[in-house]
Chains A and B, each alone.
Chain A
């Protein structure tokens, strides 16, 4: 009994961040439990139970930390992909996108893969707050790349298909949920706004018009989906920002449109 009840404390001693506080407690309680045999069973039942809870909480908190770290790594490296895509110009399109594709694949295989093992079973929803920022940034990078590459919207199903090979067959594959995908799309419009400005300043008006059309479509579709989202306060904020981006792109496209431009030149003259 003595040995049994002391072993969790030894483990605790190793794990605890402030062992100097915890150790004396453990010793004292062991002493009292040997002195008072009547209460010994209840004391050690409670201690044993709490030793289990301690293990459980420690393990879970470690896991959460690992997921947060993975999420940060995903964010940083997805940002790099986004910056890479923004380096696009008329002349270097192919090579810029090629590098972006490689970088994006690296994010998937190196960082997203780290989430697969951690988010098995109920942990997928339980730790959503911990990984959601990273996944949203990843969605943003992947969809931005795809738009520049082919002018289309990367579907959630397509993204999830690329995540399938990450996990070995014994694990449940990681599949990004609709909510994170939509939150990522909402951020995408900000990047597309920057992209549109760049294209306009380089005189690629057709391209800018395409972006404008694309962004409006996303905005319009999102307005219908938002009321059904789980916690939509974050999304509502994003929608406001999104509308600003849409209006900015529209105004910019409008300002440089050949006909309008001619008018304003004529007016100035």
Chain B
């Protein structure tokens, strides 16, 4: 504001110096002048400055105005402080989300050892340690969200992809341990969520499960290489069931839909490995085969 009024004064002085007789406007190429200074229109030197008030960029103090800009100002001041507060909250959430991401990354790198055919229980134990870390971080997040009840989905974007990754790892871990799919409620419980408003979004869970399926073809190949010829059949059974279950969902055209569409390629890769193993006669005697669901 200060600089613009200084500019205006400058312009006025210039105006005066160019035009010592303020009444002979004719001599000034006025419109051209204005077009250059569109943003800071000069006040005209005149005997009646009131008339020109509306040209000033600061007209807040005009007492005879129909509306009062001070009430406008007050409202916006309120907005600014509420928005600043939610901005601070978002920063805190972002910080925790960053920690969740790094914990998930640790867990992922730990779980990657299953591809190197390390003894599985040892690998799983190490990865499990990170679940506790994640649990702690999610409880931090839930604590922060308690400050703004009802606004889970306002900030959801900050932890969405991190959560999907975390879900995929936890579900994979559980599958490696038991061969079953960890369902939504169970996953939520593993993360220590669900008791308060802060829960695990079902779509995030489902997306995480799709991510988990992406990991399986590679796992199958590596297991076969390491000599576990029964693995492809087990994985194929599981993926076939999972794919059939996903086909029950009416999805929208969003990320989840695209991830689900990708699942059939995982299924196909695993089928190919199973086929290779079977045709080479590497399967164990009495292979019960794969139930055809689809």
Contacts and interface: CB of A to CB of B under 8 A. Distances in A.
Given A51-B248, A53-B249, A254-B41, A214 B75 contact: no
27 contacts: A15-B250, A25-B247, A39-B291, A42-B179, A42-B180, A45-B183, A46-B241, A50-B246, A50-B248, A50-B249, A56-B202, A57-B203, A124-B150, A125-B152, A126-B156, A128-B153, A128-B154, A151-B67, A152-B66, A210-B65, A213-B62, A217-B59, A221-B76, A222-B76, A224-B76, A225-B79, A230-B90
Minimum-distance CB pairs A-B, first 9: A151-B66, A228-B83, A126-B153, A50-B245, A125-B154, A221-B76, A125-B153, A152-B67, A209-B54
Contact of A32 (B60, B82, B197, B293): B293
Contacts of A53: 184, 202, 206, 249
Interface string A58-84: 100100000000000000000000000
A43 B241 contact: yes
Interface string A222-255: 1011001110000000000000000100110110
A54 B250 contact: yes
Given A222-B76, A254-B34, 11 more contacts: A28-B293, A42-B181, A46-B245, A47-B245, A121-B150, A122-B151, A125-B152, A178-B83, A210-B67, A260-B30, A266-B26
A124 B154 CA distance: 9
Contacts of A167: none
B139 interface: no
Given A50-B246, A56-B202, A228-B87, A122 B153 contact: yes
B73 interface: yes
A39 B251 contact: no
Interface string A6-49: 00000010011100011001001100100110010011011101
Contacts of B184: 49, 52-53
Contacts, number: 160
B51 interface: yes
Contacts of B292: 28, 32
Contacts of B242: 46
A90 interface: no
A204 interface: no
B3 interface: no
A17 B247 CA distance: 12
B280 interface: no
A232 to B, nearest CB: 10
Interface in B109-166: 150-154, 156
> For chain B, what secondary structure do more than half of its interface residues adopt (helix, strand, loop), or is it mixed?
helix
B265 interface: no
B154 A22 contact: no
Contact of B75 (A122, A150, A156, A250): A156
B87 A263 contact: no
Interface residues of B, number: 65
Contacts of A155: 71, 75
A214 B150 contact: no
- Most chain A CB within a 10 A radius of its CB, from B54, B153, B180, B252: B54
Categorize the interface residue count of chain A. 35 or more
Contacts of B152: 122, 125-126
B55 interface: yes
B61 to A, nearest CB: 11
Residue among B66, B86, B197, B251 having the largest count of chain A Cβ atoms under 10 Å: B66
B38 interface: yes
A212 interface: yes
A229 B154 CA distance: 12
A32 B26 contact: no
Contacts of A156: 75, 79
B52 to A, nearest CB: 8
A99 B26 CA distance: 48
A216 interface: yes
A62 to B, nearest CB: 10
Contacts of A157: 75
A78 B66 CA distance: 25
A27 B85 CA distance: 55
B79 A182 contact: yes
Interface in B46-92: 46, 51, 54-55, 57, 59-60, 62, 65-69, 71-73, 75-76, 79-80, 82-84, 86-87, 90
Contacts of B57: 216
B237 interface: yes
A267 B65 contact: no
A259 B44 contact: yes
A105 interface: no
Nearest to A61: B252
Nearest to B198: A122
A96 interface: no
Nearest to A266: B26
A163 interface: no
